[in-house]
A and B are shown apart, each in its own frame.
Chain A
Amino acid sequence: AQSVTQLDSHVSVSEGTPVLLRCNYSSSYSPSLFWYVQHPNKGLQLLLKYTSAATLVKGINGFEAEFKKSETSFHLTKPSAHMSDAAEYFCVVSGGISSGSARQLTFGSGTQLTVLP
């Protein structure tokens, strides 16, 4: 079984300040982890993914995330927030379960990021 917990349902930051969105996971297998972003009334866009290579993963738009196995965390960060970053962010875990299974993704409940001018 696998699960993912996004620790904050809402985060507010000022423009130009750092962003931290927290995610903890549990998985019986060596997981893959993803962060997706969703702007209002839009689909989800992949920001970055971790698949057992480098533990620090760089994504699009200046975001990055660090996989910490000892802490079962995959927090998303950005050094300087921009107004266009305001959106909902989803942490997603995928474990390599049975052969041929395609339904391994488990989504967190989302973190709404507000960027204040």
Chain B
Amino acid sequence: DGGITQSPKYLFRKEGQNVTLSCEQNLNHDAMYWYRQDPGQGLRLIYYSQIVNDFQKGDIAEGYSVSREKKESFPLTVTSAQKNPTAFYLCASSTPGQLGRNIQYFGAGTRLSVL
């Protein structure tokens, strides 16, 4: 079964702690994305990566970090610098496709809460 797997489904963070959210895809997609979703808002882009060993900041990158060492994996670390991390985090992937026409496929999400 091809798809995007996010883990864990639920995560709790203590004050001052860094936590890492996992995202793995077996769709052979080049591009991967991390979004944050807050209640009543659309998705906001945190980071994206078009190719292995390369990534760019999105609209709300502060307090987050990523790596892209393998095509299949794009983990997101929520650092202690992120003062309001409670949210639903969604990972997505896509083929580059025709410019601006790419369909993004989403994982099931990780809900992060602060203890």
Which residues of chain A have a CB within 8 Å of any CB of chain B? 9, 29, 31-32, 34, 36, 41-46, 49, 51, 90, 94-97, 99-105, 107-110
Residue among A29, A44, A45 with max Cβ neighbours from chain B (10 Å): A44
Known contacts A90-B42, A103-B45, A109-B41; A96 and B100 CB within 8 A of each other: yes
B72-114: CB near A (< 8 Å → 1, else 0) gives 0000000000000000101010101011111111111101000
- A80→B47 CA distance, assembly (Å): 39
The closest CB in chain B to the CB of A4 belongs to B42
Q: How many A-B residue pairs have CB under 8 A?
A: 72
Q: How many residues of B contact A (CB 8 A)?
A: 32
By the criterion CB–CB under 8 Å, are B99 and A43 in contact?
no
Which residues of chain B have a CB within 8 Å of any CB of chain A? 4, 6, 31, 33, 40-45, 48, 50, 56, 58, 88, 90, 92, 94, 96, 98-109, 111
Known contacts A42-B109, A90-B43, A103-B45; A34 and B99 CB within 8 A of each other: no
- A62→B107 CA distance, assembly (Å): 23
Q: Which A residues touch B6, using CB under 8 A?
A: 43
Where chain A touches its partner, the secondary structure class is: loop
